[in-house]
Amino acid sequence: MPQRPPLATRKRIHWVARLERRFHGWRERVARRTGRAPRVVPFPGYGGDGWIRVVGRVLILPPLSTKRGRDAGVRGWRAFLGIPVAFSTVTVTIAGRTHEVAADRGGVIDAVLPADLAPGWQTFQMSVENGEPAEASVFVVDPDVRFGIVCDVDDTVMVTALPRPLLAAWNSFVVNEHARQPVPGMAVLLERLAKRTPGTPMIYLSTGAWNVAPTLTRFLHRNLFPRGSMLLTDWGPTHDRWFRSGREHKETNLRRLAEEFPHVQWLLIGDDGQHDDEIYTTFTSEHPDAVAGVAIRRLTATEAVLAGGRQYVDDHSAAGVPWVTAHDGAGLAQRLEKVNLL
């Protein structure tokens, strides 16, 4: 059963967050009475020499429909039906060694654990309440690697027009996942970049909710994007605000990557429909040695209108790194070639 954290470690949280927790608690009790049990849904993580970052979520999932084929389209709203199980103790088994980590109040697992794994994609197991272990994957970065890729998702690899609330809701909750459109040329660009240097870490950093991680994984695979680790966020209220800050999520994880991999220079890829340009500008000024370059996809005129306009920084002369822009992956590839980043 879920375990609450010690009283001394609890924070006074926003009343909306308390209401949300009570609602999910009620849903959990109802689900358990019907015999449904929680399970761990792992997400692709990353790691370095002697450690890995384990990410996942503990959920009670809705029953699978026998009427839907394996390859049938999935409506976005179905990804949000899982019931998060707060403060669960999760058993993580890495190369025969067992660890116990605690999920947060949203059921999210995000922990750094010791691990002696070879570079590249590796697997380990995660389980909760003595349930069936789920196989998780992690990309271990070789200490000799000096180049990595951080890529936004919304309007960078997938056309979503996310900043506009009604369209965001439509794309997230209604649109069939097979109807989602990739940004032209981005899959080819990222695949070329990933193959340019063997062992290149690929990080998909997005303000999207963890709920859509399985859908995003299928979208990337179906459209031939390179496999990568995922850093999404948990939508909803925090202890002091109604909704989490997507910008803070990106800034925090960029700084963390710079600290965890001081030997890696990252190519930062985003778009001008949100705050990527500004976020990358700030990060580059703070950590100039951690950035190999920046590639910003410019939205089309129609996409810019749907997204509520463009947001960009006019002057990048002080960045000290190559800074390229184009409307699609092919255009970005040409400009990255000219600055010897492809």
Express each pLDDT in 6-59 by its tens digit: 444 445 555 555 676 777 677 878 888 888 999 999 999 999 999 999 999 999
Residue ranges per structural domain of the chain: 7-140, 147-338
Just give the CATH number of 7-140: 2.60.40.10
When comparing pLDDT for 63 and 230, which is higher?
A: 230
The Cα–Cα gap between 295 and 331 comes to 10
Please write the tens of the pLDDT for every residue from 325-338: 999 999 999 999 99
Amino acid at 167: L
Please write the tens of the pLDDT for every residue from 110-122: 999 999 999 999 9
The Cα–Cα gap between 174 and 76 comes to 5
Which residues neighbour 300 within 8 Å (Cβ) at sequence distance 6 or greater? Answer: 327
Q: Is 56 helix (H, G, I), strand (E, B) or coil?
A: strand
The Cα–Cα gap between 125 and 6 comes to 27
Please write the tens of the pLDDT for every residue from 180-213: 789 999 999 999 999 998 899 999 998 888 888 8
Of 90, 88, 74, 70, the C-alpha closest to 28 is: 88
Helices and strands, counts by H and E, the chain: 8, 16
61: Cα separation from own chain's centroid: 20
Provide the pLDDT for residue 176. Answer: 58
Please, which residues bridge with residue 202 across strands? 149
144-155 in b/e form (b: 16+ CB < 10 A) is ebebbbbbbbbb
Reported pTM: 0.83
Measured at the CA of 86, the angle between CA 84 and CA 92, to 5 degrees, comes to: 90
37: Cα separation from own chain's centroid: 25
CB 283 within 8 A of CB 255: yes
Helices (H), 34-58: none
Provide the pLDDT for residue 75. Answer: 47
When comparing pLDDT for 339 and 207, which is higher?
A: 339
Just give the CATH number of 147-338: 3.40.50.1000
Predicted confidence (pLDDT) at residue 215 exceeds the cutoff of 90 = no
Provide the pLDDT for residue 111. Answer: 96
Orientation of helix 329-338 relative to helix 186-196, angle to 10°:
30
Q: Is 86 helix (H, G, I), strand (E, B) or coil?
A: coil
Tokens at 34, concatenated: 């019907």
Provide the pLDDT for residue 79. Answer: 54
Kindly indicate the confidence band of residue 63, based on its pLDDT and cuts at 50, 70 and 90: confident
Which residues neighbour 65 within 8 Å (Cβ) at sequence distance 6 or greater? Answer: none
